[in-house]
Amino acid sequence: MDRLQVLLKHVSPRNGHLAGKHSMANEIASPTSDSDVVVVHGVRTPIGRAKRGVFKDIMPDELLSHVMVAILKATGLPASKLGDICVGNVLQPGAGALMARIAQINSGIPEAVPIYCVNRQCSSGLQACMNIAGGIRNGSYDIGLACGVESMSHRSKADPRSIGDISAGAFHQDATRDCLLPMGITSENVAEQFGVSREKQDAFALASHQKAARATRLHLFQEEIVPMQSSGMLVEEDEGIRPNTTLEKLAHIPPAFKENGTTTAGNSSQLSDGAAAVLLARRGTASALGLPILGVLRSFAVLGVPPAVMGIGPAYAIPAALKKCGLSMDDIDIFEVNEAFASQAVYCAEKLGIPPHKLNPNGGAIALGHPLGCTGTRQVVSLLHELRRRKSR
């Protein structure tokens, strides 16, 4: 009596409720198409402190290989299905093209799968995701892997050789000279130019540590962190978080870049080692292979800003990305904005009017660390796992 059962459900609301098994609840009210670019899964290593931390003796290819192996294992995807791999990296020579290929082959990914690297500074790892998404969208392939990796134990931004070979033309204009400014000075510029006080920066840094400490305590990173062996011990948690820091402690740290400045080691991101990986696919392919869908790429935008205040990029790129997909700030439940420095993160949040509870809910680079090439990929990983936990978008 099938019909009777269907009708009985109508008159017995308790039986009719679908709560819990409602598989569409997460699906956002937007058009879905087989050609959408979706994120299948994302993982990362714990983030270690550079030079004296848990991964000080680990090479970047080892970090990278660790997340490559982990994401393929977690999704059960045969490596031969990958159409391309893009790796974000900043400090390795040539953005680590050689290192990445070695990591790939050591991960058991067939030689026939190509790999390349990209450097867009702090957002290299994010750019890697968008490059793979672009390849899927233009039909070059249906599935690709985006990664980000950095070992700041082994390479330093401060190394003068990292500037490269530049002509005297670098000194012809203010803007080109500004390109050579140390990052910390650009942070001082942002703080000065836009009036972001030391107190605001320290309070922001404190919040980042508190949010990250809470997330670690509640094991919220369990789904994204793949524990890694290093020097005989298993590293499971991010190393840079200081759960016990206070405003007083932060206030005592001297300025790091400029006399009477406001940017300190406490309210800047940390030098770190880490890697992250994100598997992207065409929705139709993901469905056909039975892969889960963690998120959908709706829009992406990049914009340049004056080199002297380089950290304010998100304040310009976020509205541009929203405009492209016809969404407003209110439609967005969580913003991941990089915390290279508290100054630029505070400025971006204030300029855009991001409510504190929507911004980097589990901390950012100030607390977790900032392995340059890895961070953008790490943000996608952290963002999508948190969105899924909150059932928001």
Q: Which of 170, 320, 331, 355 binds other proteins (CB under 8 A)?
A: 331
Nearer to other proteins, 2 or 248 (CB): 2
| Residue 7 interacts with other proteins (CB under 8 A): yes or no | yes
Report the alpha-carbon angle 52-56-59, nearest 5. 165
CB of 51 to other proteins, least distance (A): 46
In terms of Cβ atoms closer than 10 Å to its own Cβ (0-12, 13-18, 19+), residue 356 is exposed
| Residue 290 interacts with other proteins (CB under 8 A): yes or no | no
191-223 burial: b if 16+ Cβ within 10 Å, else e: beebebebebbbbbbbbbbbbbbebbeeebbeb
> Which part of the chain contacts other proteins (CB under 8 A), choosing from 22-30, 110-118, 207-215, 342-350?
22-30
| Residue 32 interacts with other proteins (CB under 8 A): yes or no | yes
53 CB contacts (<8 Å, ≥6 apart)? 153, 239, 240, 272, 273
Residues in the chain: 393
Nearer to other proteins, 306 or 355 (CB): 355
CB of 19 to other proteins, least distance (A): 5
| Residue 29 interacts with other proteins (CB under 8 A): yes or no | yes
Nearer to other proteins, 19 or 112 (CB): 19
CB of 31 to other proteins, least distance (A): 5
| Residue 233 interacts with other proteins (CB under 8 A): yes or no | no
Nearer to other proteins, 4 or 112 (CB): 4
Q: Which of 122, 159, 47 is nearest to 341 (CA)?
A: 122
149: which 2 tokens? 């990796």
Nearer to other proteins, 174 or 331 (CB): 331
Nearer to other proteins, 242 or 283 (CB): 283
Helices 198-217 + 342-352 axis angle, to 10: 90
Binding mask 34-63 for other proteins (x = CB under 8 A): x-----------------------------
CB atoms near residue 274 (< 10 Å):
38
| Residue 218 interacts with other proteins (CB under 8 A): yes or no | no
CB of 14 to other proteins, least distance (A): 10
| Residue 1 interacts with other proteins (CB under 8 A): yes or no | yes
| Residue 33 interacts with other proteins (CB under 8 A): yes or no | yes
Nearer to other proteins, 13 or 164 (CB): 13
Helices 97-106 + 60-75 axis angle, to 10: 50
What residues are paired with 86 via a beta bridge?
A: 116, 146
| Residue 299 interacts with other proteins (CB under 8 A): yes or no | no
CB of 384 to other proteins, least distance (A): 18
CB of 249 to other proteins, least distance (A): 42
Nearer to other proteins, 31 or 254 (CB): 31
66 CB contacts (<8 Å, ≥6 apart)? 45, 226, 228, 275
Helices 342-352 + 183-194 axis angle, to 10: 40
CB of 390 to other proteins, least distance (A): 14
Nearer to other proteins, 15 or 197 (CB): 15
Coil/strand/helix, residue 116 = strand
CB of 278 to other proteins, least distance (A): 24
- Say if CB 131 and CB 95 are below 8 A apart: no
User: Pairing state of beta strands 115-118 and 84-88?
Assistant: parallel
| Residue 24 interacts with other proteins (CB under 8 A): yes or no | yes
One-letter amino acid of 334: I
Nearer to other proteins, 29 or 168 (CB): 29
CB of 24 to other proteins, least distance (A): 5
49: which 2 tokens? 């402190």
Q: What's the rounded Cα separation, in Å, for the pair 102 and 105?
A: 5
- Say if CB 281 and CB 143 are below 8 A apart: yes
The site for other proteins (CB under 8 A) is made up of 1, 3-4, 6-7, 9-11, 13, 16-19, 22-25, 27-34, 331
